[in-house]
Structure 1
Amino acid sequence: MTTDTTAWTAVCAATDILPDTGVCALVDGVHVAIFRVGHEQTLFAIDNVDPKAKASVLSRGLVGSLGDRIVVASPLYKNHFDLRSGECIEAPEHSVRAHTVRVEDGRVLVALA
């Protein structure tokens, strides 16, 4: 039997995130953007700091899709970040980390990558 040693941090109630929007949370000193996509509780978490702008703004970006990729468009430079991987579509050198996120007892939990 293995023990899960992942450090999970509760950030908010799952119902606090409206469908197709994001929120920002400070997790162990890291600004994390958590997104709820669709009306179910499909959640994604990436770094919130836009690497090009050096501003904590990705949680305020527009959620959408490019082909089969679910993305958020940065509100500043409009770069698209894949919510599954954190990859910046237009400039891969500006990619961010993707974090593990889950819902437990109605609370959103994040574990840093």
Structure 2
Amino acid sequence: MSISNGVARRAVDAPPAHTRWVGVCPIDELEPFWGEAALIDDIQVALFLLPGPVVRAVSNQDPVTGSFVMSRGIVGSRGDRATIASPLNKQVYDLETGDCLSVDGPGLSVFPVRISAGAVEIGVSAA
């Protein structure tokens, strides 16, 4: 899966060497289990603060409907995996890998995240 100006990858992979890190917000401005949307260049990203603290970033675009609503999804879990359910059709996605867990179908793009000096940074393609 690929997106323009973004990093199309699974979260378990190391970010490509050509990753550009973009500051999004201070981590203390995120509320646990509550999604926030961010616009990075022309990419809409949905951010989720999980316990740890761990921040996950996925595409804000619902892969089934094309609507930009994933930041308003319902955070939950399947076993030990943090998930997000689309607010429209309730498909459930793994927040780490982007895999659709409820049906065979398209997954979400995921983005690398790091915390630097208390700020959330998202990795996007530098190309």
Query: If the length of structure 2 is used for normalisation, what is the TM-score?
Result: 0.79
Q: CA deviation at 1:93?
A: 2.5
Q: Larger % of strand: which?
A: 1
Structure 2: distance between partners of 1:70 and 1:16: 20
Write out aligned runs for 1:15-34 (5 A). Answer: 15-34=28-47
Q: Which has the higher contact order (CA 8 A, sep 6+)?
A: 2
The reply on whether 1:6 has 2:19 as its aligned counterpart is: yes
Write out aligned runs for 1:93-104 (5 A). Answer: 93-104=105-116
Q: From the superposition, tell whether residues 43 and 92 of structure 1 become closer, same or farther in structure 2 (CA, over 3 Å).
A: farther
Q: CA deviation at 1:5?
A: 4.0
Match of 2:81 among 53, 60, 69: 69
Write out aligned runs for 1:31-50 (5 A). Answer: 31-38=44-51, 40-50=52-62
Query: If the length of structure 1 is used for normalisation, what is the TM-score?
Result: 0.88
Aligned length: 109
Superposed CA RMSD in Å reads: 1.5
Q: CA deviation at 1:33?
A: 0.7
Q: Extract unaligned runs of 5+ from structure 2.
A: 1-16
Q: Extract unaligned runs of 5+ from structure 1.
A: none
Q: CA deviation at 1:112?
A: 2.8
* Equivalent residue, structure 1, for 2:10: none
Q: What is the one-letter code of the residue matched to 2:101?
A: I
The reply on whether 1:53 has 2:65 as its aligned counterpart is: yes
Match of 2:97 among 77, 85, 102: 85
1:43-98: per-residue Cα shift (whole Å, max 9, x none)? 11111100112111111111110112210111111111100001111234320111
